[in-house]
Structure 1
Amino acid sequence: MSPTPDRAKAEADALQRGSRGARRVRLDPEKIIATGLAVAAETRTNEFSAKALGLRLGVDPSAIYRHFRSKGHLMEALLDALHARALATIDAEADDWRGRVTQLADSTLREYCAHPSIAAEAMVLTTHGPGELGAIELLLDALDRAGLPPAAVVQHYALLSSYILSTASGIARARIESGERDPAPTTSPWFDGPILADPQRYPGIARHAAQLAALEDRETFMLGVRTLLDSAARAAAA
């Protein structure tokens, strides 16, 4: 049954009033990034949801892409924001090259574990943003101050950078997959449960089972950083 002319007019008037009264959300890249970081921190998952970001902003997700050409570009901006946050925590003096690298590594791990769905992109995206460039500059400057020759500076930078990014990203992903709900626990087990192996076939695992079970992810991560810094110091002294 068709609506009467009066009813049709009333419905049209209501739609028009609703359209006029709808709250317009003013977006800009900074607001999108800040909200994206909040969404990533609250949703304990390895997959970033543009739909969840749109809901938080109060817009259709397609509106986000008026400011970022694609989801890939959005993820680059979010990842670079994490790098900038990590850099902002560093307070060691410039001459304390080991301390500055150690702080950068520790802060990167913290930010990645707090925002796992962004950290998951760390090994596939290059941001070219101020956060990433600042981290590169810090590492190169630290290795220069260690006394390495230019070629060795670049080699040790590549080792440190790839280790920090890949291992921190892996730890963040592993914590989510193991069911960890705390966004920033001090540490978590390196292995998710005991290693079940036949001691006859795997005597090394059996011999070190207790020590393997005691491994913790942050402690192991930072041991790797210290080992790479020790290697750089030895190379500089050679």
Structure 2
Amino acid sequence: MNPATSGPSDSPARGAQAVPRRGRPPADVNHIVAVALRLVDEVGAEAFSLRMLATALGSGTATLYRHFAGKDELMVQVVDRVLGEVEITGLEDAPGWQEALTAMATALYETLRRHPQVLPLLIAQVPVGPNALVHRERVLSLLLARGLPVGLAARAFTAVGHYAVGFAVQQLGPTSPGPEDGRHLLEFYRRLDPAMYPATLQAAEALTTIPLDAEFQFGLDLVIGGLERLLPGR
């Protein structure tokens, strides 16, 4: 990501770099992954299949198995391709580590907004593909150069990355609520018994009408503010 690590597993995802099987003819792996991402964007990761991909490519599944052990290995490459789209502009010009982390999280979140169907894949693996490694190295190097101790830099990178991915999964994923759901939720809150839920009724509109971008930035500011309190000497 990615700059972000994500998912419950601490083990590197299998097949971070697809290697053609020995003795098999070469193929345009980048094109295969690009078409796979397009299909995942259209139908979702669960509905996606190698047979569907082979049809879109005008080939057979045997061609795909020359380069990927299976769907899981291909999905690792799809995730890394998405993370390759993360553009952290002005990162090296950030005056402090706080601004660097904000730039990282914002760029990651904006990229994930373009690929909501990929989000379920991010909770199943720690990204270790080429693009993920480059982003991770770039951000960690900057955090260290801006004065964060190595342990806190690692924790800050991970926490902020997890926040961005987690927020995107909950708010932007394939089953996330849309604007209409927010209106229905507001109506539901307003029908609650005021004697039992007075605070919820009082906050009902604020709970259901805050723009996503504002909510994301508010939470990010809280995370970074909490990290500041962990600095030595604070």
Equivalent residue, structure 1, for 2:71: 71
Displacement, 1:190?
A: 8.9
Give per-residue Cα distances to partners, 1:1-24, cap 9 Å, x unaligned: xxxxxxxxxxxxxxxxxxxxxxxx
Displacement, 1:170?
A: 2.7
Aligned CA-pair RMSD = 2.8
Q: Does 1:90 align with 2:88?
A: yes
Percentage of pairs with the same residue: 21
Equivalent residue, structure 2, for 1:228: 223
Please state whether the residue corresponding to 1:120 is helix, strand or coil: helix
Aligned residue type for 2:172: A
Contact 1:91 1:100 in 2 (8 A): no
Contact 1:190 1:216 in 2 (8 A): no
Counterparts of residues 94-133 of structure 1 (less than 5 Å): 94-96=92-94, 97-133=97-133
Equivalent residue, structure 2, for 1:214: 209
Aligned residue type for 2:69: R
Q: Does 1:193 align with 2:192?
A: no
Equivalent residue, structure 1, for 2:5: none
Contact 2:45 2:121 in 1 (8 A): no
**Residues in 1 aligned to 2:230 and 2:162: alpha-carbon distance in whole angstroms:** 19
Please state whether the residue corresponding to 1:161 is helix, strand or coil: helix
**Residues in 1 aligned to 2:177 and 2:55: alpha-carbon distance in whole angstroms:** 25
Displacement, 1:201?
A: 2.0
Aligned residue type for 1:166: G
**Residues in 2 aligned to 1:190 and 1:100: alpha-carbon distance in whole angstroms:** 34
Structure 1 residues 145 and 232 mapped into 2: Cα distance closer, same or farther (>3 Å)?
farther
Please state whether the residue corresponding to 1:85 is helix, strand or coil: coil
Structure 1 residues 47 and 222 mapped into 2: Cα distance closer, same or farther (>3 Å)?
farther
Equivalent residue, structure 2, for 1:47: 46
Equivalent residue, structure 2, for 1:29: 29
Give per-residue Cα distances to partners, 1:112-161, cap 9 Å, x unaligned: 23222322110111231122212322342343244322222222222112
Structure 1 residues 157 and 93 mapped into 2: Cα distance closer, same or farther (>3 Å)?
closer
The alignment of Structure 1 onto Structure 2 pairs a total of residues equal to 202
Displacement, 1:203?
A: 1.9
Aligned residue type for 1:102: T
**Residues in 2 aligned to 1:54 and 1:172: alpha-carbon distance in whole angstroms:** 28
Structure 1 residues 146 and 234 mapped into 2: Cα distance closer, same or farther (>3 Å)?
farther
Displacement, 1:191?
A: 4.2
State the TM-score, normalized to the length of structure 1.
0.72
Equivalent residue, structure 2, for 1:183: none
**Residues in 1 aligned to 2:137 and 2:180: alpha-carbon distance in whole angstroms:** 32
**Residues in 2 aligned to 1:75 and 1:46: alpha-carbon distance in whole angstroms:** 8
Instruction: Pick 1 or 2: higher relative contact order, CA cutoff 8 A, min separation 6.
Output: 2
Contact 2:54 2:61 in 1 (8 A): yes
User: Tell me, which stretches of 5 or more residues in structure 2 are unaligned?
Assistant: 1-25
Equivalent residue, structure 2, for 1:20: none
Displacement, 1:80?
A: 0.9
Displacement, 1:178?
A: 5.2
Structure 1 residues 110 and 155 mapped into 2: Cα distance closer, same or farther (>3 Å)?
closer
Structure 1 residues 118 and 191 mapped into 2: Cα distance closer, same or farther (>3 Å)?
same
User: Tell me, which stretches of 5 or more residues in structure 1 are unaligned?
Assistant: 1-25, 181-187
**Residues in 1 aligned to 2:136 and 2:121: alpha-carbon distance in whole angstroms:** 18
